[in-house]
Chains A and B, each alone.
Chain A
Amino acid sequence: MSLISFNNISFIYNKKDPNHYDALKEVTFSIEKGDFIALVGHTGSGKSTLVQTLNGLLLPTSGYTKVLDYYVTGDKEIIKRLKKEKNIKKRELKRFSHLRKEVGMVFQFPEYQLFSDTIIKDVMFGPLNFGLSEEEAKKRAIEALDEVGIDYTYYEKSPFEISGGEKRRVAIAGIIASSPSILVLDEPTVGLDPNGKKEILSLIKKIHEKGTTIIIVTHDMDVVMEYASKVVVLKDSRFIKMVTPSELFNSKDLSNFSLEIPSFYKFKRYLADFGFNKDITNINTIDELVDKIGEKYGK
C-alpha cells in the first residue's frame, strides 16, 4: 500500500464566491515510502495547495488525501462513507495533531518564522508542542541541530544574528526535531547563494538517506535533475504526469509546462534544433555529450 495517495482531489478557495477558483482539479496519484519527489509546475499550478492537504492544513473540497492511516478530506459524502465502511468517527477525521508530527512542513523562507530569543529554544518548540518533556525536547533539538551542522557554540545565540543559510538550517532543524516520517519542503533553496543551496540540498539528501520520504516543491530544475527520484508535473490545477527526471527533460512537451530547462538539456535541445549529426537522445552527462561533439570534429 502506498504511503500517500491523492484520490481524485479537488480544492476550491472561497467556494461561495461566484468567481471562485479551483486550485486543484481531480488530482490522483500516489507516493511510496522512501521516494524523493519533486513537485514542479508554473506559479499557480496548484503545488502549494496540494502539499497543504498532506497534514490537514487544507481539506480537499472533494476527494481525499490519504497519508499513513489518516484520511484528509472535507468532502461530506466521503466522510459519510468512511464512517460507515471503516467505522471512523467524525472527530477522528479532524484530529490532525499526530499527523502534523508525522508530516514535517518547511514553508518558503522558513527563517522568517524563527521567533525565540535563542536558537536552542526555537528548535525545542516543536517537540515541546507535541508533548515531550523539556529534557526530551532538548535532546531532540540537539540531535536535530547536529544533523543540520549547527554546533553547540550557537545554541544560546539569537537566531537573528546568524547568516541567511544558517537561519534556514535552524528552521529545518525545528521541523526535523519532531522526527517526521515525511518531510515536505516548499522552495527550500530560493534566495540562497550556490554554496548555501548545496548545503541545504545535501542536508535534505542526508535526511532522505535515513529513510524519510521527501517531497520538495521547486522551480529549480537543477535540483530536480540531481536529487529527485521522481518528478510530478502539475499544470492549471491538474496532475499531468509522474516520471523520472531524465524522462521529463528529454520529453518534447516540456515547454508546455513553463519549466526552466537545465542548461545541459537546453544545450542538447539546441544541438538537435541546429541539426547536430550524431544521435544524442539517450545521453545524460556532459562528458558523454562532449565525446559526441568530439566525434563530429573527428577527435
Chain B
Amino acid sequence: MEQEVIKVENLSFSYEKEKKILNNVSFSINKGEYVTLIGHNGSGKSTLAKLLSYILEPNKGKIYIDNEELNEKNIKNIRNKIGIVFQNPDNQFIGSTVEDDIAFGLENRNIKQEEMKKIVKEYSKKVGMENYLTKEPEELSGGQKQRVAIAGILALNLKIMIFDEATSMLDPEGVEEIRNLILRMKKENPDLTVISITHDIEEAYLSDRVIVLNEGKIYKNDIPSKVFENEEEMKKINLDIPFVLKIKNKLKTKGIEIDENIKTIEELAKYICL
C-alpha cells in the first residue's frame, strides 16, 4: 500500500484581517513521490512553503509529516526527517568552505572525524562538487552553492526534501544543474520524497505529479501531462506550458500523435526523425 508521508488537511492562512492567502487546501504526498507545486505570483505557493517548513503556523487546518502533526511539540523530531533547500544560495551557506558546509549538519550527530570525512566526500561526489571541497562560497556560482546545500541535506539521510523555489535566483545553467540533480537523486534513492515549490514549468513536467495553486486554492492536482493538457486554461491563471508539450499539442491538431513518454526536447527530436 502507498505510504502517506505528507498530509495537508483543510489548511487556511491569512495575515490579520486580510483576505485569505490559502483557503482550505488539502492534499497528500506518498513516500517516494516527486511532487512539484506551481502557481503564479500571489497564488499562495510561497505561503504554503513557509507553512510546510514551519516558518509560519496555519490559522486553520493541520499538516502531518510522517504521521506526526507539525507543531511546536513535534518540530524537533520532524526536523530530523525533513530537509529544506531555500531560495537564496547565499543565506544558507554556513561553513567557511564547501567541506565545512556539507559537514555542518553531521557535526551534531556524534560521528567520528574519520567517518565524517568519508561521508562528506561521498555526498560531494553525488552532487558533482568533489573537486571544490576547499573552495569558499565567494568562489562558487549560485548553482554550485545550491548543490552544496543539497549535499549537506542528502548526507543526513532524511526522508523528505523540500525545495523552496531553490532555482529562482539561479541563471539558466544553474536551473538546469539542479533540475538534473533532483532527477538523479530520485533515481538513486526511490524512497526519497521530494516536494519542489517552483516556477520552473520544465521541472514540473519532469516530476511525478503537479499541484497547481491559484488564488489560495488547489486548481489542479494530477500527473504533468494532464495538468498541462489545456494551454488556454493554464494561460488563464498566468502559467505557461512546457515547450515539448506546446509542440506536441500543435502536432496533435495536425493529427500527429507523439508518445506520452517523450518529455525532453532531445527525445522529441529523435522520435520525429526516426
Residues of A that sit less than 8 Å from B by CB: 43, 163, 165, 187, 190-196, 219-221, 258, 260, 263-264, 266-267, 270-271, 273-277, 286-287, 290, 293-294, 296-297, 299
Contacts and interface: CB of A to CB of B under 8 A. Distances in A.
Contacts of A296: 272
B247 A286 contact: yes
A267 B269 contact: yes
A296 B256 CA distance: 11
A72 B265 CA distance: 46
25 contacts: A43-B171, A163-B41, A187-B171, A190-B171, A191-B168, A192-B168, A194-B238, A195-B41, A258-B173, A264-B243, A267-B265, A267-B268, A270-B269, A274-B269, A286-B246, A290-B251, A290-B254, A293-B251, A293-B256, A293-B272, A294-B254, A294-B256, A297-B254, A297-B256, A299-B254
Most buried by A among B173, B176, B201: B173
A195 B168 CA distance: 13
Contacts of A293: 251, 256, 272
Contacts of B171: 43, 187, 190, 219-220, 260
B41 A274 contact: no
A196 B256 CA distance: 35
B175 to A, nearest CB: 9
B141 interface: yes
A271 B271 CA distance: 9
B84 to A, nearest CB: 18
B55 interface: no
Nearest to A293: B272
A39 to B, nearest CB: 14
Contact of A220 (B172, B266, B270, B274): B172
Interface residues of B, number: 31
Contact of B41 (A196, A219, A271): A196
A294 B243 contact: no
A271 B172 contact: no
A195 B238 contact: yes
Interface in B206-243: 238-240, 243
Contacts of A275: 273
Given A165-B41, A195-B40, A293-B272, A299 B173 contact: no
A190 B269 CA distance: 29
Contacts of B266: 270
A165 B199 CA distance: 14
Nearest to A165: B41
Nearest to B198: A193
Contacts of A191: 168-169
Contact of B273 (A163, A220, A271, A294): A271
A275 B269 CA distance: 9
Contact of A299 (B42, B172, B255): B255
Contacts of A271: 269, 272-273
Nearest to A273: B269
B270 A286 contact: no
B220 to A, nearest CB: 17
9 closest cross-chain pairs (CB), A and B: A270-B269, A274-B273, A260-B172, A263-B243, A219-B171, A193-B199, A290-B250, A294-B254, A191-B169
